[in-house]
Structure 1
Amino acid sequence: MQGMKRKAVLLTAVTAAMMTVSACGTNSENTAGEVNVDQATEAASQTAEGSINEGAAPAAETSKEPVKVVWWHSMGGELGKAATQLVTDFNASQQDIVVEEVYQGTYDESLNKMKASMDDKSGPSLIQVYEIGSRFMIDSGAVTPVQQFIDGEGYSLADLEPNIANYYTFDGKQYSMPFNTSNPILYYNKTLFKNAGLDPEKPPATFEEVAEAAKKLTKDGVTGGSFAIYGWFMEQLFANQGADYVDNGNGRTAAATASLVNTDAGVKTLEWWKSLIDNKTMLNLGRKTDDTKKAFIAGQVAMTLDSTASLRGIVDGVGDKFEVGTAFLPKPAASGDGGVVVGGASLWILNNKPEAEQQAAWTFMKYLAEPATQAKWHINTGYFPITTKAYDEQIVKDNLAKYPQFQTAIDQLHATKAMPATQGAVMGVFPEARQLVETAIEEAFSGQKTPKAALDDAAAAITEKIATYNKTVSK
C-alpha cells in the first residue's frame, strides 16, 4: 500500500512538469498535459494482483479470437500515413493479433489522454512517448519495462544502433523500444557558399568557422544563417562538447539534483550565438524551426540547424534552386570529444492491460524493429532506422543514393562517442526545463540579461523544480 500511495502522489506532483514542448527534432507546436492521480494506483494494484511480475515476461494467454492491441501515437500528416501503413502490413502478416492505431495529437496531448484513461482502462496497450518524457514514464509506475520481454525470450538487441538503444536504457534496463529517432545537423546552401568564395565541400565544423562563414555569406539580401531558439539545440551543443546538462552523470548514475545549463559550456555557447545575432550575420526568427526551415528553403539564409528528419522535406522543398549541403553539428574548436543525443520517441507498454495484450504489444514492437520494417519507415519519414541491418535493405540504399545528404546524419550518429553527455540528460521536469532555457536565450538576445545571468536564472529555476520533483519521488 505504501508503494501505491507514493506513485499516486508522484503523478499528482509531476503534473506541472509536463509543460509544452515538442521533441521530435522540430519546435513548431506546443501542448500541455495533466496527470490523473489514479493512474499509478490502478497500475500498482494490477502488479500486486500478479498481472505482471518484475523480472519475468508476461506469458501469452490462449485465445480463439485475435488479441487486440491499441497503439496511441503522435504521428500526424505524412508521418501518420506511414504509421498506418506499418500497422496495415503487420495485421496482414499474421492472424493472431490485430493492432489498431490511433492518432492522439502531439506528445503532450497523447500523454494527457493516457493519464485520464487509466481509471477505466480505456487507454492504449502501448503508447509513443517523446524521449524527454522517459523519466516521467518510469517514475509513473504505469509501464512494463520491455527488458522483461527481452529477458523472457532471450531477444537480442545486438543489431540496434548502440547510441539509440543507450538513450532508453536506465540502470542497465531497457524500458522502452526506440521507434522514431533523429538528431540535428547543419544544413547549408552550397551555391551561396561558392558565391561567397567558400569551399562548398568544406562546411564549417566549429563555432569559430560558423562565425567566419556567416560573415562572408551575409550580403546581397542574404543573411549567414538562422538557428531557431530551441532548447533541444542547446542540449545538443552541450553533448557535442562532451558536457553534461545536469549533475549526477547527466542524471544517469543517480537522480539529477541540479541543472548545469549555466556552466562554461552553456555560457560560451550562448555568448557565441548572441554575437552572431548582434553583428547581424544571423537572424533571430524565434522558437519555431518551421520558420527557419522556410527561410533556408527560400534562400534567405545560408545556414540553419534542423533535425535529420527534416532532410527529405528540405531537399524536396529546395528542388533545383540550389544544392543542399549537410554537416555535423558545430562545436567550439577547443572542446573535447562528444557527439549528438538522439531525439524522437519510443514505444512503452502499459501495465494495466492483460498479460496476453502486453505480450501481443511486444510482438508488434519486434515487428516494427525488423530491418525491412525500419527500412520502409526510414524512407517514408526520414527518421533513422533503429537497426543497423536496415542499411542492407535495397530500398535504403536507393534512398541514400537519392538523398546522399543523409550520409552525414548516419556518420554523425556513428561518430558519437558513448558517454553520459551523449547518452542524454534525464530529469522528470525536462519539458519545463527546456522552455526555461528557451526563455533565457530570448532574454540574452534581447539584451534584457547577459548570457551568464540569463542562464544562471534558468539553472536556478530548473534546479528548484528538480528538487520538488525528487522530493515527491522519494515519498
Structure 2
Amino acid sequence: MTQHLDRRHFLGLAGVTASAAALAACGGPSTSGTPVASEAAELDFSGVKPAAKIDFWSNHPGKSQDVEKAIIEKFHAKFPDIRVNLVTAGANYEEIAQKFQTSQAAKSGLPGVVVLSDVWWFRYFTNGSIIPVDALVKQLDIKLDDFRKSLVDDYKYKDKQWALPYGRSTPLFYYNKDHFQAAGLPDRAPKTWQEFGEWAPKLKASSGAQYAYIYPALAGYAGWTLQNNLWGWGGSWSKEWEITCDSPESIEALQWAQDSIYKNGWAGVSSKEAADDFSAGLTSSTISSTGSLLGVLKSAPFNVGVGFLPGGPKAETNVCPTGGAGLGIPSGITKEEQLAAGTFLKFMTEPENSAAFSAATGYMPTRESADMKAVLAQTPQIQTAVDQLAVTRVQDNARVFLPGADQELAKAAAAILTQQADVKSTMTSLKKTLEGIYEKDVKPKLG
C-alpha cells in the first residue's frame, strides 16, 4: 500500500462508504446507503424564520451537563423565541452515533445540533447527514477566524465548514506531586519515556501505590493514546494510507510498553477509567484527556501535576494527538430548524461560553479571544493543555479513517498489554487486518 493521499483529500472523497459489518463491530453508525453529492448545494437562509424549538444532543463530554444547561439558560434569555431542549443522547460518542443513525433511518426525531467526535463526524458527512455551516456562518456573522485554527480546520472539506469545535482535547500526563516529591523526583512530567523508566522504580518503592504508571483503558483509548508512544519511537499506526504498525520502530515502542508491565513490573492497565484510578491513588501517574482535568482536581486528595506527553528515543516533541468533538447540524431537518440550530451553535461557541465550558471541564478553549484569565487564576493547569496544543500532531489515518480500525487497534493493544502476546506477530496480524479494511472499504472509493 503506497498510495499517498493526505487527510484533507480523504475528507473530500465524498463517495467513501464502509461496510455495515465493520461499523457494527465498533459501535458506530452504518455508512451504507446513498453518499453525499461531491459538491454540496449552496444553502440559503434568507427570509427564513428560526424554528421555535430544537433539541441539542450531547453526551456531556467532560461531565459538562451542568455547564451546558447554564449556557442554554443564557441562550433562552437572549433568544426567548427559540427553546433548546438538552437531550442526553448517549453515554459516549458511539451511543450518540447509533441514535443519530437510527433517527436518520426513521427520518424523524432528529436534533437541531448534535455532538460528533473526531472519529465519527466524517461518516455523517459521507452519508449526507449533516450540512455545511458556511451559509449560517455568513448570515449569522460567526467569527470563524477567531477559532483556534488547528481545531476548526479539522472539520473542513473543499473550503466548506462541516462542524464547529466544541469539546476538544489532547491527552495530558497526570502525576501525583506528593509521590514524585517523596521519590526525590523533579516536579514535572518526564521529557521521555526512557526518563520515566528510570524514575518508575523509585516511585513504586516510595509511594505505596500499586503502579508507578497505568495505561488508559484500552477499549476507548488505545488507538488514541498509544500514538504518543509510537511517534516517540519513530513509529506510527500508519503513514497516510500505508499501514506501518509492524515497522521496527512501532514494534520497539510497543515492546517497551509491554516490558513496563511484565518485565519491569511498574505499570498496569486501567480496567475502566485511568483518571479515576489516578485520583484514587492506585497509580502515581497516567495519561488521560484534558477533559478529565477538572474532575481529577476535584476528586484527588493529593497535589496534582500535569505536563506534556513524554517523547521517546526518536522524537521528544510533536508526539501528542488532538481529539474530542465538534457540533454539527443535521441535513434532515427543516431550514427553520437549521437556522435555529445555527443561532444556538453560534451562541454555544462564543468566546465567553467557550471559556465557561473550558473552566467547567478542562477542555480546550476553542476561541482565540476567549478570556481565560479568571479560569487560569483558579485552574492554572489548563494553561498546560493550551500550550501543548502548539505541538500536537494530526492523528494517523489508520485510527480515524479506516472504519472499524479503532476497535482492531484496541484488540491488538489488549493482546500485547494484558495477555503478553508476541508484539511482532500481533502487529503483523493487525497490519493484514487494517490493509484488508483499506482494500475493501476505502481504496475502491478513492478513484
The TM-score, its normalising length taken from structure 1, stands at 0.80
Alignment of 1:323-472 (within 5 A): 323-335=303-315, 337-390=317-370, 392=371, 396-416=372-392, 421-422=393-394, 425=397, 430=402, 432-446=404-418, 448-470=420-442
Shift of 1:371: 0.7
CA distance in 1, matches of 2:202, 2:286: 15
Partner of 2:102: 116
The number of residue pairs the alignment matches comes to 427
1:324-379, Cα deviation, whole Å (9 max, x unpaired): 11111011133265242221111121112222222221221111111111111111
The reply to whether residue 297 of structure 1 matches residue 292 of structure 2 is no
1:243-299, Cα deviation, whole Å (9 max, x unpaired): 664343xxxxxxx4x4332234422321221121123443323452x2x33332233
CA distance in 2, matches of 1:235, 1:173: 29
Change over 3 Å in CA distance of 1:115–1:237 after alignment to 2? same
Q: Is the 8 A contact 1:69 1:357 kept in 2?
A: yes
Q: Is the 8 A contact 2:16 2:446 kept in 1?
A: no
Amino acid in structure 1 at the alignment position of 2:416 = A
Shift of 1:191: 1.6
The reply to whether residue 204 of structure 1 matches residue 201 of structure 2 is no
Partner of 1:252: none
Partner of 1:233: 225
Partner of 2:122: 135
Change over 3 Å in CA distance of 1:100–1:433 after alignment to 2? same
Shift of 1:237: 3.8
Shift of 1:401: 2.1
Shift of 1:157: 2.1
Partner of 2:22: 16
Partner of 1:35: 30
The secondary structure found in structure 1 opposite 2:205 is coil
Change over 3 Å in CA distance of 1:58–1:96 after alignment to 2? farther
Q: Is the 8 A contact 2:175 2:284 kept in 1?
A: yes
Q: Is the 8 A contact 2:294 2:362 kept in 1?
A: yes
Shift of 1:15: 5.1
CA distance in 2, matches of 1:172, 1:9: 18
Amino acid in structure 1 at the alignment position of 2:415 = E
In the alignment, structure 1 segments of 5+ residues that lack a partner are: 1-5, 21-31, 48-52, 249-255
Alignment of 1:157-196 (within 5 A): 157-196=144-183
The secondary structure found in structure 2 opposite 1:350 is coil
1:47-105, Cα deviation, whole Å (9 max, x unpaired): 9xxxxx83633314444x84432222212794222222222221221134322221111
Amino acid in structure 1 at the alignment position of 2:388 = Q
The reply to whether residue 99 of structure 1 matches residue 75 of structure 2 is no
Partner of 1:90: 75
Change over 3 Å in CA distance of 1:265–1:89 after alignment to 2? farther
Across the aligned residues of Structure 1 and Structure 2, the Cα RMSD in angstroms comes to: 3.1
CA distance in 1, matches of 2:126, 2:436: 19
Shift of 1:405: 2.0
Alignment of 1:34-53 (within 5 A): 34-35=29-30, 40=34
Amino acid in structure 2 at the alignment position of 1:461 = T
Change over 3 Å in CA distance of 1:193–1:137 after alignment to 2? same
CA distance in 2, matches of 1:240, 1:59: 48
Shift of 1:303: 1.3
Q: Is the 8 A contact 1:226 1:303 kept in 2?
A: yes
The TM-score, its normalising length taken from structure 2, stands at 0.85
Change over 3 Å in CA distance of 1:449–1:162 after alignment to 2? same
Q: Is the 8 A contact 1:68 1:98 kept in 2?
A: yes
Partner of 1:309: 291
1:398-432, Cα deviation, whole Å (9 max, x unpaired): 3322222222111111233xxxx426637776563
Shift of 1:135: 2.7
Shift of 1:154: 6.6
Q: Is the 8 A contact 1:60 1:359 kept in 2?
A: no
CA distance in 1, matches of 2:177, 2:400: 41
Partner of 2:7: none
The secondary structure found in structure 2 opposite 1:388 is coil
What is the percentage of aligned positions where both structures have the same residue?
A: 26
CA distance in 2, matches of 1:163, 1:77: 21
2:246 to 249, 253, 262: 262
CA distance in 2, matches of 1:69, 1:338: 40
The secondary structure found in structure 1 opposite 2:178 is helix
The secondary structure found in structure 1 opposite 2:60 is coil
1:96-143, Cα deviation, whole Å (9 max, x unpaired): 432222111132222222222223333122311111112312211222
Partner of 2:9: none
Q: Is the 8 A contact 2:151 2:168 kept in 1?
A: yes
